Structure 1
Amino acid sequence: MYAWIWRRLPGTWQTKTAIALGLLVAIAVLLWYVAFPWIEPKVQFDHGVVQDPAPSGSATPG
């Protein structure tokens, strides 16, 4: 698949490399700013309950 994409890109290998890097950056930006914020409320990875072992304001002998 990657060879097929590489053959379809225009220009010399330097141009192909620049275009491929530009496409990679564009896809990463699209994922980072559009896809991930959209999907974040739908996944429950970090919604666990964390209990503090020594809550502030607790009475500890001094």
Structure 2
Amino acid sequence: MYRALWNALPGPFPLKLLLTLIILTAVFFLLMEVVFPWVATVMPYNDVTTAPGA
């Protein structure tokens, strides 16, 4: 699978490497800014309460 993605990228090795780093960085920021905050709002562990005086 990774080989197919690598072969789909245009250009020589340095350009493919640069494009791969750009894509990985974009995916990382998309996950951190959009996906993970949304998932955190729908997870049940966010409704934790503690007893007063505990």
TM-score band, normalised by the shorter chain? Answer: 0.7 to 0.9
1:1-62 equivalence runs, <5 A? 1-43=1-43, 44=45, 47=48, 49=50
Partner of 1:10, secondary structure, is: coil
- C-alpha RMSD of matched pairs (Å): 2.3
Larger radius of gyration: 1
TM-score (norm 2): 0.79
Scaled by the length of structure 1, the TM-score of the pair is: 0.70
In 2, Cα distance between equivalents of 1:2 and 1:48: 45
Q: Which runs of 5+ in 1 are unaligned?
A: 54-62
Percent of aligned pairs with the same residue? 33
